Amino acid sequence: MLLAVLQGVSELFPVSSLGHTVLLPALFGWRIDRSDPTFLAFVVALHLGTALALLVFYRADWARIAGGLTRSVVRGRIGEDPDERLGWLLVAGTIPLALVGVFLEEPVKRLFGSATLVAGFLILNAFVMFSGERLKRAKSGDIALGALPYPSGVGVGFSQALALLPGISRSGSSIVTGLLVGLDHEDAARFSFLLATPAIGAASVLEIPRLFAPAAHGVLIESLVGGVVAAVTAYASVTFLTRYFRTNDLRPFGWYCLVFGSVCLVLALTKVIA
């Protein structure tokens, strides 16, 4: 249940869920075999729950976006409707992550599994957020999400791929890039969460067979309960974060990553954690 809550919260908060799934078990001495079929099935259920929560939270947006995409394909051109533009921005932003994900996920996972590196990336994540906020304050004027140029949408999509490095947050890097291309905090967060839905959803749907693998039958109920817990926690997280970013910025999350990453780095370097 703790893992399910951790997934639901850290997947959407800009603090790196992947980094936390490496560092927290190391800190608390949880013995997790990441290649065990039962654990993989559990992780698939947690991701499905998170994607479902995002889909439900943004259901009205997705309905309009689907309508906009359909209209533009039928018409044969993208009109001025913000939902059509947003739909194609999401498609353009998802392509880079899909390509980078399928080709680089496995080698990156093998290279960056140690607590020392993950803690280092978490500190880097903090400085990415601090720098993003500083650069944003130096810029004047915001552009609306519906008016975002396509290259900027692709750039935000590319920035999500940085989250393959455990310790770098997907939402953190995409919100920072959104701010740098001219969005305000609220729109940058909204675009990041909308981009997260196909990213998390597609990745977990493709892994559904793991959930029903013979070796995972013993934990099917636990996986489903975990998925529901992750969904409820993710829904609460996205509700909180969309309100939070109306008036606040990324710096508190940056301070959290800096402090937690520094503590873990010291503990890893002094061999207190593996």
Partner 1 sequence: MKIVALVVALICFALAVGYGSGTVQFAAHTPGPHVKHAVVFAVLGVVALVWMRFQSGASAPSAR
Binding site for partner 1 (CB under 8 A): 72-73, 75-78, 91, 95, 98-99, 102-103, 106-107, 202, 206
Whose Cβ is closer to partner 1: residue 36's or residue 106's? 106
Q: How many whole angstroms from its chain centre is CA 152?
A: 18
Nearest Cα to 238, choosing from 274, 273, 202, 186? 186
**Alpha carbons 2 and 154: distance in angstroms, whole number:** 35
For 23, 203, 253, the CA distances from 111, given in Å and listed in that order, are: 16, 21, 26
Q: How far is the CB of 21 from partner 1 (least distance, A)?
A: 20
Q: How far is the CB of 109 from partner 1 (least distance, A)?
A: 10
Q: How far is the CB of 87 from partner 1 (least distance, A)?
A: 11
**Alpha carbons 233 and 230: distance in angstroms, whole number:** 5
Nearest Cα to 136, choosing from 179, 85, 165, 193? 179
Q: How far is the CB of 201 from partner 1 (least distance, A)?
A: 13
Q: How far is the CB of 206 from partner 1 (least distance, A)?
A: 5
Whose Cβ is closer to partner 1: residue 152's or residue 204's? 204
Whose Cβ is closer to partner 1: residue 2's or residue 73's? 73
Whose Cβ is closer to partner 1: residue 202's or residue 263's? 202
Helices (H), 76-207: 82-111, 115-138, 150-160, 170-180, 185-205
Whose Cβ is closer to partner 1: residue 27's or residue 78's? 78
Q: Please check whether residue 210 is in contact with residue 26, taking contact to mean a CB–CB distance below 8 angstroms.
A: no
